Amino acid sequence: MATFLVAHGAWSAGWAWKKMRSRMRALGHEFITPTYTGVGERAHLARPDIDLETHISDVLGLIEYEDLRDFILIGHSYGGMVSTGVADRVADRISQFVYLDAFVPRDGESLLSLQPEATRTRMLEMARTAGGGWRVPANPMPPDTPQPDVDWAMPRRMMQPLKTFEQPLRLTGAVEKLRRSYIYCSRPAPGDGFRRFYERAQKEPGWKHYEIYASHNPHITTPDELASLLHGIAAS
């Protein structure tokens, strides 16, 4: 019925969406989950100069070489930064744009600039003390994540190049013309920083907005519910 393309979150990769691929195929959709340079199965390519533009280029390259058109773009968490950069450049190829508990940047903003000062300071300190000055160690999984999923996911979560969080995003305004949806993960979690983007989607024109009772990684903890919601968005 539809083709979905996922821009995954920080420290993560295409592997994290394994549960979703079979469920979306069963609903008749194509579900594409590429991995950015320097993480996941591409961790061997990690280097200090990888920045946000590198990850945007990763996804743009896949779109170009697979000749994807009329697809639904999903940005999860940090993937909201990547997907916004992608959508700004190939808006004519995108049918809908879905932010899943994701950052929604404006022109000139970086992920670090969207963080509270205390969080920004903590991330920079972690990069200095544990990441060799250029990588940020992964955050822990949300506390409601079942232990088997924690055991599966945490060894696969790679440190993220710091420049991907530091580089400002430059936008032309093309994204604001797309059909956009925001899915907010409403299960309480410490340090939830995404509700403000959900509230923004409720106030600004051009948005649809949804809630899913899950913590930050519904593709891992509640894949059936997320698949059903995405299926409905595709059919809308």
Q: Catalytic residue positions?
A: 77
> Where does residue 63 rank: exposed (0-12), middle (13-18), buried (19+ CB within 10 A)?
buried
Residue 212 host element (H or E): strand 207-212
C-alpha distances (whole Å) from 190 to each of 41, 113, 124, 128 are: 29, 20, 20, 24
Task: Name every residue whose Cβ is closer than 8 Å to that of residue 59 and which is 6 or more positions away in sequence.
Answer: 5, 7, 34, 36, 82, 83, 86
Cα distance between residue 68 and residue 120, in whole Å:
36
Of 97, 125, 96, the closest CA to residue 112 belongs to 125
Dist. CA 167–CA 48, nearest whole Å: 13
Radius of gyration of the chain (CA): 16
